[in-house]
Amino acid sequence: MDAMVVRGGRQLNGQVSASGAKNAALPLLFATLLAEGEHVFYNTPRLKDIESTCELLNLFGCETQRDGQVLRVKVKKLKSLEAHYEVVRKMRASILCLGPLIGKFGQAQVSLPGGCAIGTRPIDLHLEGMKSLGAEIQMENGYVVAKAEKLRGTTILFETTTVGGTENVMMAAVLADGITRLENAAKEPEIVDLAQYLNKMGAKISGAGTSIITIEGVSSLKPAEHEIIPDRIETGTLLIAGAITGGGITVTKSRPSHIQSLIEKLRESGFTIHAERDSVTIEKSSAWQAVDLTTAPHPAFPTDLQAQFMALMTQAEGTSVITETIFENRFMHVQELVRLGADITPKTRVAVVRGHRGSLQGAPVMATDLRASACLVLAGLVANGETRVNRIYHLDRGYEQLELKLESLGASIQRTH
Ligand code: UD1
């Protein structure tokens, strides 16, 4: 199984570009199911999760064709409305096909998802939303079986802010009769990107990026072209790679306004950051302070950068309290960081990190989920000696050639088979 071998102690410096956002690309690809014809996406990252999505679209009867960062999806008459367990188990976001399939075809069968082991991650809010729009939902042999004559717009109040739930219900509602109002909707940049694409296709969505989204149903949609937004989590991970090694790096083709909460935390910690419209620079630094952190829905600090920021805090001056409010069981990187020599006490949702500069020693570690893998690679950059991060396939689900990007900045990192 592939592993990443990192030799710590090198300062990272230079310029690197961000790739397109995985979490924006996935719902966009599922949105194609809403209109026959050729959809074109630019800045599409090369990732396992994108491959899995294309595999699923192909099983439905679509054709996907990649040329560099350009991905074309040709949607023809679908030959299946069933998302099999074999594909869905690889990627939890496959559930995002449910909304477009019910919205357009009035039926769908989608296996219950697998994905990262970071908590139970239910889909009850997706299903409640579909039911409110008029779909009949049943569970049969591990599958969600959904049917609807015609969806009807209504007001849906999400009890918890859910990114995937907001996206799924939005995609179901675009072809419904009448007006749908989503309350307590997620405000992530990926929601805004999806709404923009749906509007290019002819949908009538307003309010995306705020907690109230209004969708006026239309009778049909057409394919369109779209440039996928830069990956804010990858950008943040690269900035932290610069920070943890004390180096100065610039991430180009990025959107710093999407990671304002991280930039503020880095500044509070003592780093100097320059944010332009589409690039962000962190200056060299020889010491930084511990800061406390609580994850929460956008625009607050993203759970997807919590593990990476924790790696940085192991090298800070002082004690940092990190609180995870989005997912239970998202501290699985803690035990691995401790194996590298970090001084961390975890409770269920709170971890106390006592920073000691130069405290980490290389060791074999096990990646448990996507962002935990990135955290361990970052820790490896400053650990003495060699850190071998096993089960690196998690990393390939969400980071495009991370090792090449880090190497170009001066890291010693290699993939081994
Ligand atoms: C998305 C992101 C993921 C990120 C997460 C939170 C994608 C493909 N993935 O995941 O990287 O970590 O947002 O920013 O975009 N919940 C329910 N019932 C539901 C749905 C969610 O209780 O039906 C709960 C979850 O268990 C979790 C919280 O709501 O505690 C937020 O989850 P959600 O925003 O839905 O995350 P995802 O869309 O799965």
How confident is the model over 2-16, as pLDDT tens digits? 899 999 999 999 999
CB atoms within 10 A of CB 278: 15
Residues 6+ away with beta carbon under 8 Å from 343: 314, 353, 354, 355, 356, 359
Cα(262)–Cα(268) distance, integer angstroms: 10
116 noted as active-site residue: yes
Instruction: Ligand 1: list residues with CB < 6 Å.
Output: 23, 26, 93, 119, 121-126, 160, 162-165, 186, 190, 302-304, 326-327
Contact between 12 and 406 (Cβ < 8 Å): yes
Among candidate residues 54, 62, 97, 116, the one labeled active-site is 116
**163 CA distance to ligand 1 centroid (A)?**
5
**Ligand 1: centre distance to CA 296 (Å):** 11
- How many CB atoms neighbour CB 213 within 10 A? 25
The predicted pLDDT at position 117 comes to: 53
Average pLDDT for 380-403: 94
The encoded tokens of residue 355 equal 């920073």
Helices H, strands E: what count in the chain?
14, 24
Dihedral, CA of residue 406, residue 294, residue 169 and residue 230, to nearest 10:
-20
Mean pLDDT of 382-401: 93
Q: Residue 119: what pLDDT? A: 54
From atom 7 of ligand 1, which residue's Cα is the shortest distance away?
23
* Segment among 168-177, 304-313, 336-345, 367-376 with least mean pLDDT: 367-376
Cα 297 off chain centre by: 13
When pLDDT is cut at 50, 70 and 90, the band that residue 367 belongs to is confident
pLDDT recorded at residue 118: 47
Pocket test residue of 53, 160, 188 for ligand 1, highest count of atoms within 8 A of CB: 160
Q: Is the pLDDT of residue 258 over 50?
A: yes
Encoding tokens for residue 29? 């690809």
Tell me the pLDDT tens digit for each residue of 94-110: 999 999 999 999 999 99
Sequential DSSP letters for 94-107: GGGGHHHHHHHHSE
Strand pairing class (3-7; 412-416): antiparallel
pLDDT value, residue 328: 84
Which residue from 326, 375, 394, 397 has its CB within 8 A of the most atoms of ligand 1, so it is best to mutate? Answer: 326
Q: Report which protein residue has its CA nearest ligand 1's atom 4.
A: 304
State the chain's maximal CA–CA distance in angstroms: 63
Residues present in the chain in total: 417
The percentage of the chain sitting over the pLDDT mark of 90, rounded to a whole number, equals 90
For ligand 1, atom 9, which residue shows the shortest CA distance?
Answer: 23
